Structure 1
């Protein structure tokens, strides 16, 4: 049942642009929907197949804290795509956030993050790394106030957290599941 997008009005422009769309249904009725326009993002799960671990970040997220979630969220490195392609963004973010140089990325997909309200699409990648690819131990850029703590987590432990429903970030959960499907041998038992 297709609808017709009639008009989009910008309500607020900032890091996120908030808009209101007016649509018309097939029966002629009109209705409105809010849109949060955030742009495109890129996310990568760096994993070491030799040592059976993955690099993640733990950082505070204001919306999560406000919604009653944990004070810090465990996530795969991610960031907004700006003036580069999504793969370059994933490589840059992995270096900035977890201090690892990545060469080859495996594209998992480009899903919409929250299609009921947001335009954000996230390119998801898996990337193998070796211990020698770690060039820094801490992460983030000070002026961005990210307060990132880098965690190198054994894949078996990561899978236990998935089973315990402790992975609360959707993009990270999707990447762990993709890695488990593609490389079950890395998770032990």
Structure 2
């Protein structure tokens, strides 16, 4: 693609040069980028990239991959260990609904795109908008590519304490952006049980709740002299 919206003409979001992503990448000598095409540029961007790939046996072959670029995001699990509670959300997710979820209403940890912010700033913004809560000190848990076969997004995972005094508003998201988010304050034991009986099926939320149970604020505390499981 040599011209058009998003290339040399601003698209509806004022963007140009969207066909340049990935061109010039040389970090992996087994990959040579040949061409990048825009196949769709709605709010986010779908690209088709053609590249040469050297297989493990030394042979080169030409491959094509489509990638969906929606930017990077952040997610957080707010917890209150004194009361044994966590804050989650429930909202309608059409992709899950069309792919077999009974009603599309997913229980999730609060999350959002970084936009122009760093991950910590972004997740504090999202927590205020979605949960109506002011977070305490953030713990960076991990970073993960949630669907690396097709989606470029890297997700930054956090956990943070909160108390009833940190509730600043009702939450619910930004109505102008189509958000209609229900805030759920649940006993941690209930939330963890929901990960095993099918009531929580969102990947990022599963990761954070299991981390909280195994290594985080709700992990068993060892008494002096006790050995961790498996002799670790």
| Structure 2: runs of 5 or more not aligned | 1-28, 222-232
1:136-174 per-position Cα deviation (integer Å, ceiling 9, x unaligned): 234211111111111101100011111223321111111
Cα RMSD for the two superposed structures = 1.6
1:77-114 per-position Cα deviation (integer Å, ceiling 9, x unaligned): 11110221100111111111011101311001111121
Q: Larger Cα Rg: Structure 1 or Structure 2?
A: 2
TM-score by length of 2: 0.76
Superposition pairs for residues 21-60 of structure 1, below 5 Å?
21-26=49-54, 27-60=59-92
Counterpart CA distance in 2 for 1:74 and 1:94 is: 15
Aligned to 1:83: 116
SS in 2 for 1:87: helix
Matched, 1:130 2:155: no
1:63 alignment partner, one of 71, 95, 107? 95
Superposition pairs for residues 131-150 of structure 1, below 5 Å?
131-150=164-183
Aligned to 2:10: none
| Structure 1: runs of 5 or more not aligned | none
1:15 alignment partner, one of 19, 43, 53? 43
Which structure is higher in RCO with an 8 Å CA cutoff and minimum separation 6?
1
Following TM superposition, the consecutive aligned residue runs of length 4 or more in structure 1 with deviations greater than 3 angstroms are none
TM-score by length of 1: 0.92
Between Structure 1 and Structure 2, which shows a larger proportion of helix residues?
A: 1
